[in-house]
Structure 1
Amino acid sequence: MASSHESKVARHCERRRAAGLRPVQFWVPDTRSPEFAAQVRKQCQSLKNDPTEAEVLRFTEEAAAHVEGWE
């Protein structure tokens, strides 16, 4: 017999499918892992003194300015 939680999940999925949606699973890096932090650190260090660093930072800051109000 399905649990109450499983029934709720099934009904939710049915409503989404009826709305023309389908489930999709995404795998993303675990930003909490030490390996992720080390890789970010390594990539940031590789930008140090790079002539395009200022351009990349400007682009990033400009892009970040366009996400206000996103929910």
Structure 2
Amino acid sequence: MPAPVTQRVQKRRDALRAAGLRPVQIWVPDTRRPGFADECRRQARAVAAADATDHDLDAFMDAVLADLSDETDK
């Protein structure tokens, strides 16, 4: 007869801890919540508007992309 689920889960958790890992619980936004998509659009528009007024952003992004290209060419 197979071990009960709780025993298998505990064995797995013990193995992970023995490997130097620890559990972490995080809370994330509920993407199913009404209004979630609208809030995403609102925040994306706010970021886009802020980016549009930052004239140094394009030069910064180009420099970063150039650095990345240099790293991948090696």
TM bin (shorter chain): 0.5 to 0.7
For residues 30 and 37 of structure 1, do their structure 2 counterparts lie closer, same or farther at Cα, with a shift above 3 Å needed?
farther
Residue matched to 2:72? none
Runs of 4+ in 1 over 4 A off after TM superposition: 28-32, 61-65
Q: Which runs of 5+ in 1 are unaligned?
A: 66-71
TM-score normalized by the length of structure 2 = 0.53
Q: Which runs of 5+ in 2 are unaligned?
A: 70-74
Higher helix content, 1 or 2: 2
Residue 47 of structure 1, CA deviation: 1.0
Q: Which residue of 2 aligns with 1:50?
A: 54
Q: d(CA) in 1 for partners of 2:67 and 2:44? A: 19
Distance 1:36 1:63 in 2: 30
